[in-house]
Structure 1
Amino acid sequence: MSTPAPLSTASGIWLVAERELSSKIRSKSFLISTGILLLVALAGILISGFTSANPEATKVAATSQTASIVSALPDVEVTEVADRGEAEELVRSGDVEAAVLPGDGATGYTIIALENAPGSLVSGLSVSPDVEILEPATTNPLLRYFIAIGFGLVFLMAASTFGGTIAQSVVEEKQTRVVEILLSSISARTLLAGKVIGNTILAMAQILAIAAVATIGLIVTGQNEVLSSLGAPIVWFAVFFLFGFVLLASLFAAAASMVSRQEDVGSTTMPITMLVMAPYILVIVFNDNSLVLTIMSYVPFSAPVGMPMRLFVGEAQWWEPLLSLVILLASCVAAIAIGAKIYENSLLRMGGKVKLAEALRG
């Protein structure tokens, strides 16, 4: 009786990747959480689009002398009154936010309000000096803030979710001794590669689905200008995330291989989790700080968030994403090599936590 031929490396990697894919796709919790994430992304874009397209009008009372001037202001709903007394009555009752009456000042108008005059109304009727901006903002500050949240949140959710999945899978196989059966057919490096590739496919599928939903939402709400400015940053985000996730996934798997109980996974993967959370926090807090964003765009763990943000606001030169990607690729190769060594040396060691020095020495 002939013995079966051993699996090739490619076949082994694909079998492990297929196992990771099928277990996730059959998981109701994964499908539900993915659906909720897509709905939240779509709802956020639709709400912001409809809100910006249909801003709430400011209700203003005006006499026949001032009605034409006030009506020319954007987002203003004018109620014409006969005199000052009627205007004050509407302001006091809350039917209008302010009233614009003829006045003796430089502008020729007087604004009457109950407590605070609407800023848009004051600025619209003010006589402003000529303003010359030496370094004009390239994007709307509020839009820049929301885009920063979007990039940071998507990176955080995808990296932590699938990185955590890899870590739990590694420890579960050690706890149940399944790993010993697997290593009788394939090598530890083949097993690691299959896990990383399988979860990378799932993570990228989720990223592409979110990108598709975001594109549809921007088109439906007529935000074509935002869509055109987001096109290249989204593509670069996907490219950077691909290699950044491979780097993180290798480290998650290596860290998890050093313990034998699910209770210990959190402590051993905490440093990597902090690396995933840091870009999310930094890009939100420092979204308008060009120096911090520049540093983030060249650090491998934060480049998937920092570089797309700089591309969106127009602060990055054409060659900078390429240089950052080279740095990320070099870091990815180094992380895979170190992670594979730790994984290979720790996978069959049961009991207590394996020290990092011991895992590296073998």
Structure 2
Amino acid sequence: MSATPSHDTVPASTTPPAPSFASGVWLVAQREMATRLRSKSFTISAAILVLGVLAAVLLGGIFGGSTESTKVAVVGSAAQVVGSTEGLESVDVATRAEGEELLRSGDVSAIVLPSSGTPPVTVVGLDSPPQGVLAALSIQPDVELLDPASQPTGLIYIVALGFGIVFMMSALTFGTMIAQSVVEEKQTRIVEILLSTVSARVLLAGKVVGNSLLALGQIAAIAIAAVVGMMVTGQKVLLGTVGPAVAWFVVFFVIGFVLLAAIYAAAASLVSRSEDIGSVTSPVMILIMVPYFLVIFFNDNPTVMAIMSYVPFSAPVGMPVRIFLGTAEWWEPILSLAVLVASTAVVIVLGARVYSNSLLRTGARVKVSDALRG
């Protein structure tokens, strides 16, 4: 009697299904972030940058004020509030008009008037909030200005310098990392293994997302350090002035960095050796450094700043500075952001094409025109 044939068969080996676009992007992004965070040089440089910003804010708050008593004109019952406040020297005046004469002549730094509202006094400054007086008082009074100015010249320069340096350093640091990662994978032929699992577009998107998240984290840490420094040194008025501009800077930086990251990755894919990275990324570095120098030398030029706020490569610096100065209409940041988003979308499409068509080409440098044609 013949044996009944067995229906149990050994299953054939199957290849795991390729991950979806979203999961593939996240896997690559996680790999990029893990690689960066394991680098001691990256973590140390990031920590130094954050601590440097915190130290600058703290030292500015500590040494920015006068070590001598600040004279303030006091009217009526406001003397009870000023009292023996450390750092303030009261100059009694009969009327506000008399105090305004002293303020305009420079004999006092501010006028303290009695108020019937919840803050028992009102502080009057000349052309900008008298931060030393406000910091010395134990309450948060209302502030009035006789001759309002947009912002003090020195403060404008410091804020413009801060935005310019943070944007330039972060973009250069993470952009260079992306370029080195692309060329390293191409030079060691690891990219061939990666492309057997995910597509070139997924690989590009993952690199951009991973490094963008790291850059955003660094910017957020810098912003938090600056806020903490201002709170510790009692610069609440300055915080209220700079705060909205910082918030817009973070938003613009995120979109602007995605644009630059796509360009860095596409440019690096054109070469196969680490020695050639500089030749293809130099134009991108210029695009990053130009806004820094423009905002330093032309922060008081409304025409230059207006143009900068609508050029995609300089908008992340130009528009926040204009918001800080109060020269931008309410709709301008929205329009500028829309232009930046549209430009970023176009660059991503072109960059993905260059990246996909150049990634497996080794040897001589690939021309951009050839990469675009495929």
Partner of 2:55: 43
Give the alignment's TM-score, normalised by structure 1. 0.78
**Residue of structure 2 in register with 1:13 after alignment:** 25
Pair 208,276 (structure 1): closer, same or farther in 2 beyond 3 Å: same
**Structure 2: which 5+ residue stretches go unaligned?**
1-12, 71-86, 90-104, 109-125, 128-146
Instruction: Give the deviation of 1:231 after TM superposition.
Output: 1.2
CA-to-aligned-CA distance 1:107-136 (integer Å, 9 cap, x gap): xxxxxxxxxxxxxxx9759xxxxx99xx96
- Counterpart check, 1:341 vs 2:356: no
Question: Which deviates more, 217-226 or 188-197?
Answer: 217-226
CA distance in structure 2 between the partners assigned to 1:316 and 1:76 by the alignment: 36
| Structure 2 residue aligned with 1:174 | 186
The 3-state SS of whatever aligns with 1:242 is helix
Q: 1:193: which partner in 2?
A: 205
Tell me which residue corresponds to 1:298: 310
Distance between the aligned counterparts of 1:262 and 1:8, measured in 2?
31
- In 2, Cα distance between the equivalents of 1:286 and 1:56? 34
Q: Which amino acid aligns with 1:148?
A: A
Within-5 A mapping of 1:205-354: 205-354=217-366
Task: Tell me how far 1:2 sits from its aligned partner.
Answer: 2.5
Q: 1:204-237 deviations in whole A, cap 9, x for unaligned?
A: 0000000000000001111111100111111110
Q: Deviations over 1:247-279 (max 9, x none)?
A: 000000000000001111011011111001011
Which residue of the partner structure matches residue 204 of structure 1? 216
Distance in 2 (CA, whole Å) between partners of 1:270 and 1:3 is 42
Cross-structure match for 2:171: 159
What amino acid sits opposite 1:51 in the alignment?
A: F
AA of the residue aligned to 1:337: V
Post-superposition offset of 1:7: 1.6
Pair 1:260–1:198, CA change in 2 (3 A): same
CA distance in 1, matches of 2:343, 2:211: 19
Could you give the per-residue CA deviations for residues 178-229 of structure 1, whole angstroms, max 9, x where no partner exists? 0011011110000000000000000000000000000000011111111001
User: Could you say which residue in structure 2 is the equivalent of 1:138?
Assistant: 150
**Using the alignment, how far apart are the partners of 1:229 and 1:260 within structure 2?**
48
Q: Post-superposition shift, 1:57?
A: 8.1
Distance 1:230 1:193 in 2: 33
CA distance in 2, matches of 1:41, 1:277: 20
Aligned sequence identity (%)? 57
Q: CA 1:240 to 1:360, structure 2 compared with 1: closer, same or farther past 3 Å?
A: same
**Distance in structure 1 (CA, Å) of the matches to 2:271 and 2:63:** 50
CA shift for structure 1 position 4: 1.3
Alignment size in residue pairs? 297
| Structure 1: gaps spanning 5 or more residues | 59-74, 78-121, 126-130
Which whole-Å CA distance do the structure 1 matches of 2:45 and 2:308 have between them? Answer: 29
Alignment of 1:81-96 (within 5 A): none
Taking only aligned residues, the RMSD between alpha carbons, in angstroms, comes to 2.3
Cα distance change on mapping 1:219 and 1:76 into 2, 3 Å: closer
State the match for 2:92 in structure 1.
none
Q: CA deviation at 1:3?
A: 2.3
Give, in whole Å, the separation in 1 of the partners of 2:88 and 2:336. 48
How far is 1:148 from its partner?
A: 0.5
One-letter amino acid of the counterpart of residue 179, structure 1: V
Which runs of structure 2 are paired with 1:63-142 in the superposition (5 Å)? 124=107, 137-142=149-154
How far did residue 33 of structure 1 move?
A: 0.5
**With structure 2 as the length reference, what TM-score do the two structures score?**
0.76
